[in-house]
Structure 1
Amino acid sequence: MIRSILSVGGWTLVSRVTGFLRDVVMAAVMGAGPVADAFVVAFRLPNHFRAIFGEGAFNVAFVPTYAGLDGAGETRAARLFADRIFTLMLLVQVALLALALPLMPWIVRALAPGFSDDPGKFALAVALTRITFPYLLFITLVTLLSGVLNARKRFAAAAAAPVLLNLSLLVALAAAFLFPNAAFAAAWGVAVSGVLQFLLVWADAVRAGVAPRLARPTLADTGMVRFFRMLGPAVIGSAGVQIAMFADTIIASFLPTGAVSALYYADRLYQLPFGVIGIAAGTVLLPEMSRQLAAGDAAAAHAAQNRATGFSLALSAPFAVAFLLVPDLIMTALFQRGAFDAEAAARSGAVLAAYGLALPAAVLIRSIVASFYARQDSRTPVVASLTAVALNVVLKVVLTGPLGVTGLALATAAGVWVNVLMLFVIARRRGWTAPSRALAVTACGVLAGCAVLAAGTLGGLPLLERLMPALPRFRELAILAALGAIGLVAYAATLLVALRLFGVRLRRV
């Protein structure tokens, strides 16, 4: 399982690195002004719907059902179930696209009401969103095909697909001189990437012999019944998380220009460890636990969960420390160039520090929620999610006044921690999770490594600033690279020594 996590994580890392390059180019070309704000809204809108109906709810309902049928030897039933769901998703997405395009001004006004005070920015956001929205149709089908491939332990193509989004955007931005402005170029890059990602995973599904075909959806199929029983609560749960993200965009649209962009750039760095580690672990863990539980081996399912949890925690903790201690250095070194000035870097750095508080919980939630989804319980995560979202939204309203855009990120951190703690307590009471001694030792080792990392960062930063020569435009990047290398060695050595002292191997947590 760890090898599969590394495979998914490796491709996700490539995706995040190319995504970072994409964001560096976007920041330099568009900055953090009205054009960037309009594109961020246009980019987020189809992704909000994708997260609700695609990756979020769909995976929760589809993967356990498909994996359960396939793991029980009902290969033909699993294939027919996938065919029917593929047809249904295609029809729904075409209908949604036909409705959304003419209604786009009202949709954008609902998502970013503050833009209405600036007619130029509002009109640009509407035009860009009409270009990006078809991306939703293709990426939803990509999600379905990825679920089929993941259930068959084929993870590479699905994990590699997002790389095409970043490459497409980079090519589009390089050709921005052919468009009215860089935002139009980026919007077309998003739309084209949806087609490219679909073709990639479809080709892999064809090679594996599991490419879905058109088939009439029917509730006479027991798999379809099971799917819809899980889908309803899963949609509500996924919508709850997206409501909080909608609230971010809505409230930020009323803040001074640049707030929406600050959230976006900080979130992109936050999503790097979350995507590489948390999502990779969850992608592999859910079908693994579903198969083990379908075979009646709860102990093996819990062991897999402990391995994924320990691995996720060990890899994500250093990022949280870095985000909390040197956010301004990170944003300055990585983004401050071209149209992205020092003020934009400082604003984004404050948001990044707040996201650092959320990172450990955000990574771990993908492992703990598998306890419920693998048992086809999608209702309990909904209750936990909506409770956390309610707190999140209330805190956004309360904190934005005194703290501005940083308050939105702090509210997100509080909501994520409430969500993961609620799920853990419930799963523990039901006996659906069983943390091992090795996992506890790993957690203690991670804490020790973080303490050493924090001490090295706080002590090493002033020293490096004195010793590092004046390098035009690259001094901060050189300091960040040196600090990261030293910190990585110190953290890894501390963690490995702690694990060795107690006879624990990370692969066998």
Structure 2
Amino acid sequence: MSKTSKPEPSSPPPRRGLMSSGLVVSAMTMLSRVMGLARDVIVAAFLGAGSGADAFFVAFKIPNFLRRLFAEGAFNQAFVPVLSEYSTQRSKKEIQELLNAVAGSLTAVLALITAVAMLGAPWLVWVFAPGFGRDPEKLALTADMLRLTFPYLLLISLTAFSGSVLNTWNRFAVPAFTPVLLNLSLIGAALLLMPLMEEPAMALAWGVLIAGAAQLAFQVPFLMRLGLMPTPWPNFAHDGVRRILKLMAPALFGVSVSQINLLLDTILASLLTAGSVSWLYYSDRLVELPLGVFGVAIGTVILPALSKRHASQSREHFAAMLDWAIRMVLLLGLPAALALAILAEPLLITLFHYGAMTEHDINMAAMSLRAYSFGLVAFMLIKVLAPGFFARQDTKTPVKVGIIAMVANMVFNLLLIWPLAHAGLALATALSAFLNAGLLAYLLRKQEVLVFQPGWRRYAVQLLGGCTIMGLALWWLSPGWNEWLGWELWQRIGWISLLVGVGAGSYFAWLAAFGLRLRHFRIAG
């Protein structure tokens, strides 16, 4: 090969343990989510929960929702199984042709969608937040921001494409670290651009656009190093592209129902009192921390592994991987959900009660945080159960489940919004998530794909005992939330750190005392 020739795509490396891969993704995701919380602390201090904050959150939520729906949702779940099959059964030349065709087709479609959305920004805002129509200035501000934030969808979707390729080749750290750049960009925009702008919230819209370009540029060198850098060229007739499109259509609902439900929350919240959109946003951000660090991390590493096991027709190991994923979700999700519910006000006060963020905002956000935390385990289970279908290139079954869950969420919304306002919307999302996860698990069991391994009764007793001990410790130690309001920042941080340490220590000490060991969770990828 000459020095100027393009390197051949490298073969996927040998399988590594799912736990080690999961720890890599969790560590990077934890860094990203911590930076995200730092970002939200700064945004809350500058903007609080007023009209400017509501406008930015909607302008960012629209492309971010579509990112989760298309890029990290339907596209990822359809692309990874096909790419995994190519990586194990096709030649290097065929792999490169697939990457070229997918990258080109994805760019062409999203560029067109982006152009249309920017032209029709006011109408798009009205669709996603109809309540803003009562305030022309707020609607116009949101539309102006959307013209800056919507190109993020194109950039971040290409970033997700790159990340899917790297994950398939077991390079999990780079895609997991990439979201840190979004948070750094928004922090920089808040600190450096806000003071220069007539409308401070507009600085954050510029930050989103800059972040999209930075995230894509960051992953390019790693693709080049693997010899997997595509030459984008649209080719919708390519067999792999046609298969991906066929799998994507139903996957749009199957994997992203929780995101659609959150979007419905935003639409309805825009019709409620001012600040409702922001209260839901801040509480959702806290739930996203354990969901991303644990649920998304496990789902990220398990999809390529399940896809390869399905391609090699290793049915028993496929079932063992699903069982492992469920155990990991419960191990980490149950205590996280309980801690969020018990420490709702202290967490929100420590992170957000500065500047424009009022005591009333904290109280309102705590209500929706407890409702979201109730559904945390269900949100996480969806992340690991849906790949059980997508890895087998079955996207029709999850879409049926998704439609049922989405209709149920609409019914729950209508029943709960009047007595509980914005908190009712969060509770409706949690209830529909449990329905979604329950139906996915039932159908996987019915298809004999999910086979529970021995030891579940003992495991359940260990987890419930650990959660009980942790809950009692947090309830007994935590001061009343009104006391937190009078404390300085470092006093709040000290107490939260103490409570988190005591909670985690008591939980894992109980598990260790009753025989649970790290080696029990090791499984080959």
2:210 equivalent to 1:192? yes
Q: Name the residue aligned to 1:496.
A: 512
Structure 1 counterpart of 2:210, one-letter code: V
Q: Name the residue aligned to 1:377.
A: 394
Q: Name the residue aligned to 1:483.
A: 499
Greater CA drift, 418-427 or 42-51:
42-51
Q: Distance in 2 between matches of 1:74 and 1:32?
A: 54
Is residue 45–residue 354 contact of structure 2 (8 Å, CA) maintained in 1?
Answer: yes
Give TM-score scaled by structure 2 length. Answer: 0.92
Relative to structure 1, is the Cα distance of residues 97 and 445 closer, same or farther in structure 2, using a 3 angstrom cutoff?
A: same
2:372 equivalent to 1:347? no
Greater CA drift, 275-284 or 474-483:
474-483
2:201 equivalent to 1:183? yes
Q: Distance in 2 between matches of 1:72 and 1:198?
A: 29
Relative to structure 1, is the Cα distance of residues 464 and 58 closer, same or farther in structure 2, using a 3 angstrom cutoff?
A: closer
Structure 1 counterpart of 2:219, one-letter code: V
Is residue 254–residue 399 contact of structure 2 (8 Å, CA) maintained in 1?
Answer: yes
Is residue 469–residue 475 contact of structure 1 (8 Å, CA) maintained in 2?
Answer: no
Is residue 148–residue 205 contact of structure 2 (8 Å, CA) maintained in 1?
Answer: yes
Q: Secondary structure at the match of 1:213?
A: coil
Q: Distance in 1 between matches of 2:165 and 2:157?
A: 13
Q: Secondary structure at the match of 2:326?
A: helix
Is residue 306–residue 439 contact of structure 1 (8 Å, CA) maintained in 2?
Answer: no
Aligned partner of 2:268 among 230, 251, 267: 251
Q: Name the residue aligned to 1:213.
A: 231
RMSD, aligned CA: 2.1
Aligned partner of 1:416 among 420, 424, 433: 433
Q: Distance in 2 between matches of 1:198 and 1:472?
A: 39
Is residue 448–residue 494 contact of structure 1 (8 Å, CA) maintained in 2?
Answer: yes
Aligned partner of 2:164 among 147, 155, 179: 147
**Residue deviations 1:297-318 (CA, integer Å, cap 9, x gap):** 1111222222222223212222
Shift of 1:329: 1.7
Is residue 355–residue 410 contact of structure 1 (8 Å, CA) maintained in 2?
Answer: yes
Is residue 499–residue 505 contact of structure 1 (8 Å, CA) maintained in 2?
Answer: no
Relative to structure 1, is the Cα distance of residues 215 and 124 closer, same or farther in structure 2, using a 3 angstrom cutoff?
A: closer
**Residue deviations 1:127-179 (CA, integer Å, cap 9, x gap):** 11111111111001011111111111111111111000000000100111112
Relative to structure 1, is the Cα distance of residues 159 and 500 closer, same or farther in structure 2, using a 3 angstrom cutoff?
A: closer
Q: Distance in 2 between matches of 1:5 and 1:508?
A: 11
Structure 2 counterpart of 1:56, one-letter code: G
Give the alignment of 1:312-331 within 5 angstroms: 312-331=329-348
Structure 1 counterpart of 2:463, one-letter code: V
Unpaired segments of 5 or more residues in structure 2?
Answer: 1-17
Give the alignment of 1:269-284 within 5 angstroms: 269-284=286-301
Q: Distance in 2 between matches of 1:500 and 1:137?
A: 45
Relative to structure 1, is the Cα distance of residues 474 and 342 closer, same or farther in structure 2, using a 3 angstrom cutoff?
A: farther
Is residue 253–residue 398 contact of structure 2 (8 Å, CA) maintained in 1?
Answer: no
Shift of 1:438: 3.9
Structure 2 counterpart of 1:105, one-letter code: P
Q: Name the residue aligned to 1:444.
A: 461
Q: Name the residue aligned to 1:132.
A: 149
Q: Secondary structure at the match of 2:499?
A: helix
2:454 equivalent to 1:427? no
Is residue 282–residue 366 contact of structure 1 (8 Å, CA) maintained in 2?
Answer: yes
Structure 1 counterpart of 2:386, one-letter code: V
Aligned partner of 1:301 among 294, 318, 322: 318
Q: Secondary structure at the match of 1:499?
A: coil
Q: Percent identity, aligned pairs only?
A: 35
Unpaired segments of 5 or more residues in structure 1?
Answer: none
Is residue 465–residue 479 contact of structure 1 (8 Å, CA) maintained in 2?
Answer: no
Structure 1 counterpart of 2:521, one-letter code: L
Q: Name the residue aligned to 2:246.
A: 229
Q: Name the residue aligned to 2:28.
A: 11
Give the alignment of 1:372-411 within 5 angstroms: 372-411=389-428
Shift of 1:204: 1.1
Q: Name the residue aligned to 2:7.
A: none
Structure 2 counterpart of 1:483, one-letter code: L
Greater CA drift, 317-326 or 277-286:
317-326
2:161 equivalent to 1:161? no
Q: Name the residue aligned to 2:38.
A: 21
Q: Secondary structure at the match of 1:137?
A: helix
Structure 1 counterpart of 2:449, one-letter code: W
Q: Distance in 2 between matches of 1:235 and 1:214?
A: 24
Is residue 464–residue 479 contact of structure 1 (8 Å, CA) maintained in 2?
Answer: no
Q: Secondary structure at the match of 1:101?
A: helix
Count of residues paired in the alignment = 506
Give TM-score scaled by structure 1 length. Answer: 0.95
Q: Distance in 1 between matches of 2:239 and 2:323?
A: 32
Is residue 182–residue 208 contact of structure 2 (8 Å, CA) maintained in 1?
Answer: yes
**Residue deviations 1:14-40 (CA, integer Å, cap 9, x gap):** 000000000000000100011100010
Q: Name the residue aligned to 1:286.
A: 303
Q: Distance in 2 between matches of 1:25 and 1:162?
A: 17
Is residue 323–residue 356 contact of structure 1 (8 Å, CA) maintained in 2?
Answer: yes
**Residue deviations 1:389-448 (CA, integer Å, cap 9, x gap):** 111111112211110100000000001000000000110011111121245543432221
**Residue deviations 1:166-200 (CA, integer Å, cap 9, x gap):** 00000100111112232111110010000000001
Relative to structure 1, is the Cα distance of residues 360 and 241 closer, same or farther in structure 2, using a 3 angstrom cutoff?
A: closer
Greater CA drift, 122-131 or 304-313:
304-313
Relative to structure 1, is the Cα distance of residues 211 and 500 closer, same or farther in structure 2, using a 3 angstrom cutoff?
A: same
Shift of 1:387: 0.6
Is residue 369–residue 381 contact of structure 1 (8 Å, CA) maintained in 2?
Answer: yes
**Residue deviations 1:92-136 (CA, integer Å, cap 9, x gap):** 111111111111110001111111111221111111111111111
Q: Distance in 2 between matches of 1:128 and 1:194?
A: 15
Is residue 323–residue 355 contact of structure 1 (8 Å, CA) maintained in 2?
Answer: no
Q: Distance in 2 between matches of 1:6 and 1:299?
A: 24
